[in-house]
């Protein structure tokens, strides 16, 4: 019995080594075409998912969080197959992930690496946390001014409510 088991394991090993292409497996560019967002703070992982509406995306989406990072301690990476980000999506990501890098993947390789930059004005991305704010009662796009980038501090154009990253509710 033990002998048989050993044989089985051996056969399996050979099989795997034939199939695996180490380069593709280890590289960040394991998707053929699309976008890899790296250096996301772990607590912003699902905010980025929300911003990009990945729950509706039909291509491959892989989300890895609590990964070890030299610069951040822990970080998250999101890979999205078959999607390139718009400028507005990139600046939305910058609000919740100011150190994120956006890698554009073509044919399994990183074609371009973009370091996000937090915009000075944030239009129609974040909900105002003040229940009395006019933006919560009328159909007006929200507008916030970025007072501080990291940690984030924004101020509502309409009611002057200040909000930090923990108050952010993405529209
Ligand atoms: Zn407001």
**Listed residues: CB within 5 A of ion ligand 1:** 128, 130, 133, 156, 158-159, 161
Give the other-Cβ count within 10 Å of 131's Cβ: 8
pLDDT at 128 > cutoff 90: yes
pTM: 0.74
Query: Which CATH class, in words, describes the domain spanning 28-115?
Result: alpha beta
Q: CA-CA distance, 129 to 127, in Å (whole number)?
A: 6
Give the distance (Å) from ligand 1 centre to CA of residue 127: 8
| 11 — pLDDT class (breaks 50, 70, 90) | low
Q: What are 85-110's pLDDT values in tens digits?
A: 998 899 889 998 999 999 999 998 99
The pLDDT of residue 15 is 55
The pLDDT of residue 125 is 87
Residues near 13 by beta carbon (within 8 Å), at least 6 away in sequence: none
Q: What are 28-62's pLDDT values in tens digits?
A: 547 899 999 999 999 999 999 999 999 999 999 99
Give the distance (Å) from ligand 1 centre to CA of residue 55: 28
CATH number for the region 121-167 comes to 2.30.30.20
Domain boundaries, the chain: 28-115, 121-167
The residue among 101, 123, 117, 102 whose CA lies nearest residue 149 is 117
Judge contact between 64 and 113, C-beta under 8 A: no
């Amino acid at each position: 019995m033990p002998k048989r088991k050993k044989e089985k394991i051996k056969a399996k090993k050979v099989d795997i080594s034939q199939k695996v292409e180490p380069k593709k497996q280890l590289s960040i560019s394991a998707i053929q075409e699309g976008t890899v967002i790296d250096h996301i703070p772990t607590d912003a992982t699902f905010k980025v998912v929300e911003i990009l509406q990945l729950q509706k995306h039909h291509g491959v989406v892989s989300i890895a969080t609590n990964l070890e990072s030299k610069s951040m301690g822990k970080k998250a990476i999101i890979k999205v197959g078959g999607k390139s980000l718009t400028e507005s999506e990139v600046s939305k990501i910058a609000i919740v992930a100011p150190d994120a890098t956006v890698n554009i993947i073509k044919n399994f390789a990183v074609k371009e690496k973009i370091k996000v930059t937090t915009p000075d004005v944030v239009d129609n991305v974040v909900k105002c946390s003040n229940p009395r704010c006019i933006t919560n009662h009328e159909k007006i796009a929200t507008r916030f001014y970025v007072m501080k980038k990291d940690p984030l501090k924004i101020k509502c154009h309409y009611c002057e409510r200040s909000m930090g990253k923990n108050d952010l509710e993405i529209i």
